[in-house]
Amino acid sequence: MASYARNELGFKTEMTYALLASDVTGHWDWQGGRAQASSEDDLRVLLAYGPSFRLMIAHGYSDMVTPYAMTRYILDHMPAFEPAGRVQLKLYRGGHMLYLDPQSRKAFTADTAAFYRGGE
């Protein structure tokens, strides 16, 4: 975004862009510790109480922001919910923004359409 704003839009500033501003986040008061964000408990409840709830999770193989292996681990350690196939993990070539790869974008579009059709 910084490159786009500067080079394409001609936005000029003396400010610098820091992806992870540790000088700011390092001083944040986490009130007792910084816990990892997780949706695992919410997913368990939704799957247990809502038999019509379906979930498709998409990851890029080389995503270093949200690695697919953690999702795979969480899903593998959840109890089996009926009916089978309510949760799908799809993996695509690419990183966090897997849709930048034309083949991945096409496959993701097809998989998503099929997933939604399967819920009709």
Per-residue model confidence (pLDDT) at position 106? 97
Per-residue model confidence (pLDDT) at position 120? 54
Q: Where are the domains of the chain?
A: 52-120
Query: Region 61-79: what's the mean pLDDT?
Result: 90
Note the pTM of the prediction, 2 decimals.
0.68
- In this structure, the dihedral spanned by the alpha carbons of residues 44, 116, 76 and 94, taken in order and rounded to 10 degrees, is -120
Q: Which has more confidence, 90 or 64? A: 90
Q: Is the pLDDT of residue 29 over 80?
A: no
Give the dihedral sign, CA 46/51/52/57: positive
Would you put residue 82 in left (φ > 0), alpha (ψ -120 to 50) or beta? beta
Q: Is the pLDDT of residue 15 over 70?
A: yes
Query: Region 16-29: what's the mean pLDDT?
Result: 72
Per-residue model confidence (pLDDT) at position 113? 95
